Amino acid sequence: MKTDIDAELRARIIKELQEAFPYGHADFIPMTLQEMALHSAKNYDYAHGGDPLGNFDRVAAIFSNYPGLSLGNPVVVALAYAMKQLDSTLWQLCQGYEGKVEGLKERLGDVSVYAKLAIILAAEQAKEAKEEEDELIKLVAENKALREKLDGYEAAIFGAKTLADTDFSGCGGCH
58 and 92 fall within a common domain: yes
User: What does the pLDDT read at residue 171?
Assistant: 63
Question: If we measure between CA atoms, which residue out of 161, 158, 162, 154 comes closest to residue 171?
Answer: 158
38 and 86 fall within a common domain: no
Number of domains in the chain: 2
**For the whole prediction, is pTM greater than 0.75?**
no
- Quote the CA–CA distance of 131 and 65 in Å, as a whole number: 32
Q: How far is CA 95 from CA 31, 32, 53, 87, in A?
A: 31, 29, 16, 12
Q: Is residue 84 part of a domain?
A: yes
Mean predicted confidence (pLDDT) in 11-26: 94
88 and 153 fall within a common domain: yes
Q: Please, what is the average pLDDT of the chain? A: 87
Q: Would you tell me how many other CB atoms lie within 10 Å of the CB of residue 58? A: 19
Beta carbons of 34 and 40 less than 8 angstroms apart = no
Angle at 85 between CA 81 and CA 86, to 5 degrees: 110
User: What does the pLDDT read at residue 148?
Assistant: 85
Q: Is residue 80 part of a domain?
A: yes
Domain that holds residue 147: 52-165
112 and 65 fall within a common domain: yes
Return the percentage of the chain with pLDDT > 70, whole number. Answer: 88
Q: Is residue 69 part of a domain?
A: yes
Among residues 47, 64, 79, the one where a domain terminates is 47
Q: Which of 4-8, 34-38, 115-119 has the highest mean pLDDT?
A: 115-119
